[in-house]
Structure 1
Amino acid sequence: MNNLRLPLLFLIVLFTFSLSSCDAIGTIFKAGAWTGLIGVFLVVLLLWFIVNKLRRRP
């Protein structure tokens, strides 16, 4: 078993519970459209990175 999977799973669960969707959407609209687009891009990039790390076999 990969030692990296458990901390990544814990981090994903932590982000899920700590970031409320209403708070995130409200903050994005206050900050502006470009900030929202950059934020969405970064989240998608982070998810892609995590999925690729979990899919790789040692």
Structure 2
Amino acid sequence: MQHFAFAVVLYKKITMKRFSYFTVFAFAITMLTSCQLIGDIFKAGVWSGVILVVVVIAVIIWIIAKVAGGGKR
């Protein structure tokens, strides 16, 4: 019963916004293996790969900033 109470308290502490970011991040990590991703990038071409890497890095930085509270004023 204590585990259930702990889970409820933990759920209340985590906002749905942060939980959804974590869910998307965890889904992306589990669904894309590194070898498959690199192979797909090479198939698409070098510039597509460069653009994809820049976009992914920008999204990761944005997510970290939002989770860390950078959007609050």
TM-score scaled by structure 1? 0.89
Task: Give the aligned partner of residue 10 of structure 1.
Answer: 23
SS of equivalent to 2:47? helix
Task: Give the aligned partner of residue 25 of structure 1.
Answer: 38
SS of equivalent to 1:4? helix
Deviation at residue 13 of structure 1 after TM alignment: 0.4
Could you tell me the percent identity over the aligned residues?
31
SS of equivalent to 1:42? helix
Deviation at residue 20 of structure 1 after TM alignment: 1.0
TM-score scaled by structure 2? 0.72
Q: Which amino acid aligns with 1:34?
A: W
- Any gaps of 5 or more consecutive residues in structure 1? none
SS of equivalent to 1:35? helix
- For the pair shown, the structure with the greater C-alpha radius of gyration is 2
Task: Give the aligned partner of residue 45 of structure 1.
Answer: 58
Deviation at residue 6 of structure 1 after TM alignment: 0.8
Deviation at residue 3 of structure 1 after TM alignment: 2.9
The RMSD of aligned alpha carbons is: 1.4
